[in-house]
Amino acid sequence: MFLPTTREEMDRLGWDSLDIILVSGDSYVDSSYNGSAVIGKYLSKYGFKVGIIAQPDIDNNEDIKRLGIPNLYWAISAGCVDSMVANYTATRKRRQKDDFTPGGLNNRRPDRATISYTNLIKKNFKQTPKPIVIGGIEASLRRTVHYDFWTNKLRKSILFNSKADILSYGMGEKSMLELAHAIENGDDYTGIRGICYIAKEPKAGYLELPSFDECKADKHKFIEAFEKFYVNNDHITAVGLSQKQDTRYLIQNPPSIIPTTEEMDEIYGLEYERALHPYYKKMGEVKALDTIKHSVTTHRGCYGECNFCAIAVHQGRTITQRSADSIVKEVEDISAMKSFKGYISDLGGPTANMYGIECLKKQKLGACKDMRCMYPKTCKVLNVNHNKQLELLDKVKKVEGVKKVFIASGIRYDLIMDDNKCGSLYLENLVKDHVSGQLKIAPEHTEDEILGLMGKQGKDVLKRFKDEFYKINDRLGKKQFLTYYLIAAHPGCNERHMKDLKNFASHELKVNPEQVQIFTPTPSTYSTLMYYTEIDPFTGKSMKVEKDTARKYKQKDILIDKDAKNGYMGNSYNKDHSKSKDNNKPKNNKFKGTNKFKKKK
């Protein structure tokens, strides 16, 4: 059943009012890939009456009024993507298309959607105010003082700028449910994990970050604030944080405890329609639905911690996974859909091959504060073994009606190469049964100096993986190829690095990249910290950061040059590989030395 979006739907359910009204920057696709749908369905299961207003017209006051006033609270999300990232390119050009909007035109999501929707509610419900809770990735990653690329300055917490009452950060099922119960019962909610709120004084026992004014005045203070914020995102080791913003304080409680496997099964086992709500479907199709309709999420979280990626901050560094039975049950449900033609579009998560691979020490004691799981080398304690994934794939392939299961989420090839137990077998299975002509991987760069700044392993492991991939293809008689996601103008990267990358791509990878993304500074990442401060936070040294738009384009153009100076093009046959079209399109959304990275004060 869909969540109601109109008064008529409420009447059919016999509801005079709603407990919680969700407001989203995305159209309402009832799917586990839509955060608002997940929260709504989860709250509904526990007895709350929930409705949703998707992409309300901020120029039409009647749109936000159509479901009335919630009994408990409003819940606002900008959508699955930060609204400024959704609306603008890395060079600040307005995007014309939006895959989460009916019809595909980018004409319904306002800039800074969280703030816009909060203002819209406050404007229209002054006489009957109810608490406004903001959440989703935009609120989550902007919850403390942060650098905003689109205004090129530091901004206060979005909780202050939006004037909302509460901020739910990270994956919000638990915090939003606890809030609903607390508000319903008139209880104090300020102790709930996974939320932020505003107070007149810092909270006793909480770690105080440098203030907004200190961060504005001194970039080293901003680095200090970010590092304290970053290491306090683990659900086991994190402490609460306070940060002065004006005369008041942002209070951030420790993160919600991550879901157990049983809780993950509950969340993803809710009855999703896997469709666009009819109210919005009449406005046009939503392109994003094409890729998620027959896809299955196996887990959350990522311990790859690429410095340009915020997944570790938003979803966590610890993998939370579903049981194989739950995943198989969902595939069986998909196979019964009329629209299903036998192909599972994707079986994965933020990084597909992290399913079933996690550090036992981390699960008990929390993430290490002085070392990373996969940089500069994969930690031996991680005990990499792809066997659970192989078992899962085997079970899913046996579901009646399933012809093929694709892995489209992206993989960490270094994790495969570190698996001495069954890495080769896993890769052979990918090549044989789970690749649709191409396998996408994300080296992002190939020069060790830049890879170090990105928090990624060196290019040697890429070369070994590439050779192994094509060797398996040759043995199996397959003509499949690798797609490389690459980034230009990352902090520290200059034209020389791009020329070296171009040379490596031509001579070692045998491709001429066609689509390369210019680095986009997004809140709550180390790479964005580097971009703003022009300081390497891990060494304390000054670094060159390209901020001129024309020179950013030049870095990209160096890589996608089509002059065929080396005697072949990326779209033509070469002596090493079969015909390959490298459609590199890096995701929006990650230190040097030993596996311990030391922060210089």
What's phi and psi for 430, nearest 5 deg? Answer: -60, -50
Q: Is residue 98 part of a domain?
A: yes
- Whether the CB-CB separation of 444 and 586 falls below 8 Å is answered with yes
Task: Give the CA angle between residues 532, 538, 544 to the nearest 5°.
Answer: 45
Residue 338 is part of a domain; what is its CATH number?
3.80.30.20
Q: Is residue 21 part of a domain?
A: yes
Helix (H, G, I), strand (E, B) or coil at 440: strand
- Whether the CB-CB separation of 40 and 277 falls below 8 Å is answered with no
Q: Which residues contact 331 (CB under 8 A, 6 or more apart)?
A: 296, 344, 396, 399, 402
Q: Is residue 347 part of a domain?
A: yes
| Distance between CA atoms of residues 416 and 427, nearest Å | 7
Which residues span the domain enclosing 306?
294-559
436/551 same-domain check:
yes
Q: Which of the residues in the chain have pLDDT under 50?
A: 564-601
CB atoms within 10 A of CB 472: 18
- Whether the CB-CB separation of 568 and 509 falls below 8 Å is answered with no
Q: Is residue 225 part of a domain?
A: no
Give the number of domains in the chain. 2
Beta bridge partners of 517: 487
Assign 3-state DSSP to the chain and report helix, strand, coil percentages, each to 5.
Answer: 35, 15, 50
What's phi and psi for 8, nearest 5 deg? Answer: -60, -40
Which pLDDT value is given to residue 514? 79
Mark the binding-site residues, compressed into ranges: 302, 306, 309
Which pLDDT value is given to residue 570? 34
190/318 same-domain check:
no
Mark the binding-site residues for [4Fe-4S] cluster, compressed into ranges: 302, 306, 309
For 222-265, the pLDDT digits (tens) are 999 999 999 999 999 999 999 999 999 999 999 999 999 999 99
Q: What stretch of H or E contains 28?
A: none
Q: Is residue 227 part of a domain?
A: no
DSSP structure class, residue 203: P
Which pLDDT value is given to residue 572? 27
CA dist 433 → 283, 386, 418, 582, 590 (Å) = 38, 16, 22, 21, 28
Q: Is residue 63 part of a domain?
A: yes
User: Which of residues 160, 177, 197 is at a domain's end?
Assistant: 197
Which pLDDT value is given to residue 127? 86
300/193 same-domain check:
no
- Whether the CB-CB separation of 265 and 320 falls below 8 Å is answered with no
Q: Is residue 110 part of a domain?
A: yes
Q: Which token pair is 259?
A: 């879901």
User: Which of residues 164, 197, 230 is at a domain's end?
Assistant: 197
What's phi and psi for 535, nearest 5 deg? Answer: -130, 135
172/321 same-domain check:
no
Residue 106 is part of a domain; what is its CATH number?
3.40.50.280
310/449 same-domain check:
yes
For helices 261-268 and 35-45, the axis angle rounded to 10 degrees is 100
- Whether the CB-CB separation of 468 and 455 falls below 8 Å is answered with no
Q: Is residue 513 part of a domain?
A: yes
Q: pTM of the entire structure?
A: 0.92
178/306 same-domain check:
no
Averaged pLDDT of the chain: 93
User: Which of residues 197, 221, 245 is at a domain's end?
Assistant: 197
190/307 same-domain check:
no
What's phi and psi for 446, nearest 5 deg? Answer: -130, -10
Which pLDDT value is given to residue 515? 76
- Whether the CB-CB separation of 580 and 509 falls below 8 Å is answered with no
DSSP for 525-536, please give it: -HHHHHHHH-B-
Beta-sheet pairing, 517-518 with 481-488 = parallel
Q: What stretch of H or E contains 102?
A: none
State the amino acid at position 358 in one-letter form. Answer: E
For 263-305, the pLDDT digits (tens) are 999 999 999 999 999 999 999 999 999 999 999 999 999 999 9
Phi-psi region of 444 (alpha: psi -120 to 50; beta: other; left: phi over 0): left
Q: Which residues contact 469 (CB under 8 A, 6 or more apart)?
A: 427, 431, 439, 482
422/533 same-domain check:
yes
Q: Cα torsion at 24, 171, 193, 355 (round to 10°)?
A: 180
